[in-house]
């Protein structure tokens, strides 16, 4: 049963991350000038059109960091054990997809290629750590309440 729960958590975390990254890319209407569900359907065309616009890649890095954090939180909320490890797994999968993107489409600037390594793992780890800290605080509060009830 934990296997299904963990698999669902990873899928939900990736979906949340993908949605946030997609929304970040669509921030500026001049970057995406067609009506598609996601910008990834015509990704090569998008990259060619913004090749000399570094603000697109800065927005992509920021939305990737936010997406990795929120995806890590979503994953860590769903899994029962090893919350930070599963959040980091989300970061690893997102980094793998980003590396495939960089290899397949050569239109990324150098600063993006370097900073993408520094984005996914730390932010996904932060997402898992946020959830872990919240759960630990909740457990401490419950223990305090139980101790107060048992003491005369």
Give the structural domain span for 70.
2-150
For 112, the token pair is 């993006």
pLDDT in tens, 34-53: 665 555 667 777 777 777 77
pLDDT in tens, 61-100: 999 999 999 999 999 999 999 999 999 999 999 999 999 9
**In which band, very low, low, confident or very high, does the pLDDT at 23 lie, cut at 50, 70 and 90?**
confident
First to last CA, the chain: 41
C-alpha pair distances (Å), 55 with each of 43, 60, 110, 112: 17, 8, 14, 11
CA-wise closest residue to 70 among 95, 96, 90, 100: 90
> Could you tell me the pTM of the whole model?
0.85
**Does residue 152 have a pLDDT over 80?**
no
Over pLDDT 70: what percentage of the chain?
Answer: 91
- Quote the mean pLDDT of the chain: 87
| Predicted pLDDT of residue 35 | 61
With b meaning 16 or more CB within 10 Å and e meaning fewer, what string describes 4-22? Answer: eebeebbebbbebbbebbb
| Predicted pLDDT of residue 108 | 87
Mean pLDDT value of segment 98-116: 89
pLDDT in tens, 111-142: 999 999 899 989 999 999 999 999 999 999 98
| Predicted pLDDT of residue 50 | 76
* Structural domain total, the chain: 1
Alpha-carbon dihedral angle through residues 137, 138, 143, 148, given to the nearest 10 degrees: 100
The Cα 101–Cα 37 span in angstroms is 19
The Cα 120–Cα 148 span in angstroms is 42
**Does residue 147 have a pLDDT over 60?**
yes
């Amino acid at each position: 049963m934990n296997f299904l729960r963990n698999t669902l958590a990873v899928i939900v975390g990736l979906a949340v991350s993908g949605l946030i990254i997609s929304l970040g890319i669509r921030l500026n209407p001049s970057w995406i000038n067609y009506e598609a569900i996601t910008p990834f359907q015509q990704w090569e065309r998008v990259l060619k059109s913004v090749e000399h616009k570094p603000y697109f890649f800065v927005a992509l890095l920021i939305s990737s960091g936010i997406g990795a954090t929120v995806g890590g939180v979503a994953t860590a909320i769903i899994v029962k054990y090893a919350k930070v490890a599963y959040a980091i797994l989300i970061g690893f999968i997102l980094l793998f997809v980003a590396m495939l993107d960089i290899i397949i489409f050569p239109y990324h600037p150098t600063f993006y290629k370097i900073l993408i390594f520094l984005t996914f793992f730390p932010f996904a780890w932060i997402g898992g750590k946020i959830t872990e800290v919240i759960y630990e605080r909740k457990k401490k509060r419950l223990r305090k309440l139980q101790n107060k009830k048992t003491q005369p």
